[in-house]
């Protein structure tokens, strides 16, 4: 989908009711509009049009500073990649950014694709929904959870297809932890080194994963505390593979004996609390916040062809508007001023765009103080 850079003029209205907030220096009452509350987050840093929330589990993060950030790559038509690094070096990098809460995807089919907050799927270069021949380049900071004891840990991953897991050592260099690259069925890859972790440990990690030909995917990250003197990589299932070995994808990914035996031997799926976002990524926009509830959406067009869209929310939230030109599929997400309010109004002025003649679809977008997001109903103009 193409994005047109429209000139946008934004007029945002505030409720003008008095409140018991005291008086100014001249003795006049302070009105509600004098209190401007800004979001703690820059809503423009992670545009919802370019953000994909956990496409595999649809699980939202419980905290804005936790999660895994991923860049998405796809293989150009006619390519025949057999290494995850080929996708990253030679593939097409998509403009969307993914956020995952954890890696817990038992063997199953993947057919829905990568969907943004507006229900739009990423397409491959053939115009089809991207469900195969893609790679994720994931970054996170690994920390122990509050109930996890300090000690030496080994890491493993059940993956279909290839995965290469790296960690940054104390010398600042990334070193290989797991290498199960290539096209294969769900295979257990095991760490070659142990991680010595305590409550203050913060280990930057890079996990590169790719899915080759459709339809099955798997990506389950696990950890296990080692006993004194025990070395990593010794589990009898390390290197074993099979699409029905660990999970039965025909029965809702039901665990099989090989997987339940792993749990009995002390392996645990790495919980979301272990994955934390690097500070450079600011915050996780896929956080499970309080939704603001949009209502009373209305629109009007003035004699100059400018569109004004207004709406209300039950909780203070930000104001944005998705404008889609139905005639040429140009799309633009109006930037937010990051002010939180109950009443919202955005006026759109676009040179060459006559809202009295052009078919438009517009959607109000609001995010609450704790990142609960809401996309309002579509308003169609001249459709």
Cβ-proximal residues to 354 (8 Å cutoff; 6+ apart), any chain? 305
Separation in Å, CA 245 to CA 106, 156, 186: 11, 16, 8
The Cβ of residue 40 has, within 10 Å, a number of other Cβ atoms equal to 11
Which two tokens mark 260? 């339940």
Question: Do 162 and 98 form a contact (C-beta atoms < 8 A)?
Answer: no
User: Bridge partners of 188?
Assistant: 158
Place of tokens 């994909």: 52
Q: Where are the domains of the chain?
A: 18-43+287-381, 48-281
* pLDDT tens, the chain, 383 aa long: 333 333 333 333 333 222 334 444 444 444 445 579 999 999 999 999 999 998 888 777 888 999 999 999 999 988 889 899 999 999 999 999 999 999 999 998 888 888 888 888 888 877 888 989 999 999 999 999 999 999 999 999 999 989 999 999 988 899 999 999 999 999 999 998 999 999 999 999 999 999 998 778 999 999 999 999 999 999 999 999 998 999 999 999 999 999 999 999 999 999 999 999 988 888 999 998 999 999 999 988 888 777 899 999 999 999 999 988 888 888 889 999 999 999 999 987 654 555 556 788 999 999 999 999 999 999 988 76
Cβ-proximal residues to 36 (8 Å cutoff; 6+ apart), any chain? 14, 339
239: left (phi over 0), alpha (psi -120 to 50) or beta: left
Q: What pLDDT shows up at residue 355? A: 56
Q: What pLDDT shows up at residue 27? A: 46
Question: Do 45 and 280 form a contact (C-beta atoms < 8 A)?
Answer: no
* Buried/exposed code over 224-255 (b: 16+ C-beta within 10 A; e: otherwise): bbbeeeeebbebebbeebbbebbbbbeeebee
- CA neighbor of 64 nearest in space, from 372, 374, 381: 372
Of the candidate CATH numbers 3.90.320, 2.60.120, 1.10.10, 1.20.1640, the domain formed by 48-281 belongs to 2.60.120
Question: Do 40 and 367 form a contact (C-beta atoms < 8 A)?
Answer: no
pLDDT digits (tens, 9 = 90+) for 252-304: 999 999 999 999 999 999 999 999 998 888 899 999 899 999 999 998 888 87
Cα 235 to Cα 104: distance, rounded to the nearest angstrom: 20
Q: How would CATH label the architecture of 18-43+287-381? A: Sandwich (2.60)
pTM for the predicted model, two decimal places: 0.86
pLDDT digits (tens, 9 = 90+) for 34-85: 579 999 999 999 999 999 998 888 777 888 999 999 999 999 988 889 899 9
């Amino acid at each position: 989908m193409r994005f047109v850079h429209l000139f946008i003029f934004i007029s945002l209205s505030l409720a003008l009711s008095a409140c018991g907030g005291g008086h100014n220096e001249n003795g006049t009452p302070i009105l509600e509009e004098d209190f401007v509350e800004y979001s703690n987050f820059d809503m423009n840093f992670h545009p919802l049009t370019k953000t994909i929330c956990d496409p595999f589990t649809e699980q939202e993060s419980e905290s804005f500073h936790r999660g895994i950030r991923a860049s998405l790559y796809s293989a150009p038509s006619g390519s025949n990649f057999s290494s995850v690094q080929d996708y990253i070096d030679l593939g097409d990098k998509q403009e969307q950014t993914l956020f995952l809460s954890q890696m817990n995807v038992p063997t199953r089919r993947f057919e829905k694709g990568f969907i943004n907050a507006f229900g739009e799927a990423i397409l491959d270069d053939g115009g089809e929904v991207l469900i195969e021949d893609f790679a994720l380049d994931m970054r996170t900071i690994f920390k122990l959870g509050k109930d996890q004891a300090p000690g030496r840990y080994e890491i493993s991953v059940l993956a279909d297809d290839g995965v290469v897991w790296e960690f940054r050592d104390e010398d600042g260099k990334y070193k290989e932890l797991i290498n199960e690259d290539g096209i294969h069925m769900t295979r257990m890859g095991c760490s070659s080194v142990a991680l010595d972790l305590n409550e203050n440990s913060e280990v930057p990690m890079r996990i590169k994963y790719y899915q080759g030909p459709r339809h099955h995917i798997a990506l389950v990250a696990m950890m296990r505390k080692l006993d004194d003197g025990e070395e990593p990589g010794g589990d009898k299932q390390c290197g074993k593979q099979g699409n029905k070995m660990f999970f039965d994808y025909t029965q809702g990914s039901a665990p099989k004996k090989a997987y339940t035996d792993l749990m009995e031997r002390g392996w645990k799926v790495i919980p979301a609390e272990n994955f934390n976002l690097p500070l450079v990524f600011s915050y996780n926009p896929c956080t499970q916040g309080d939704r603001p509830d949009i209502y009373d959406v209305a629109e009007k067009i003035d004699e100059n062809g400018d569109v004004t869209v207004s709406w209300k929310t039950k909780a203070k939230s930000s104001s944005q508007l998705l404008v889609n030109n139905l005639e040429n599929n140009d799309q633009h997400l109006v930037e937010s001023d990051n002010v939180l309010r109950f009443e919202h109004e955005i006026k759109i002025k676009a040179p060459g765009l006559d809202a009295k003649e052009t078919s438009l679809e517009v959607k109000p977008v609001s995010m609450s103080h704790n990142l609960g997001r809401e996309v309002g109903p579509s308003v169609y103009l001249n459709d």
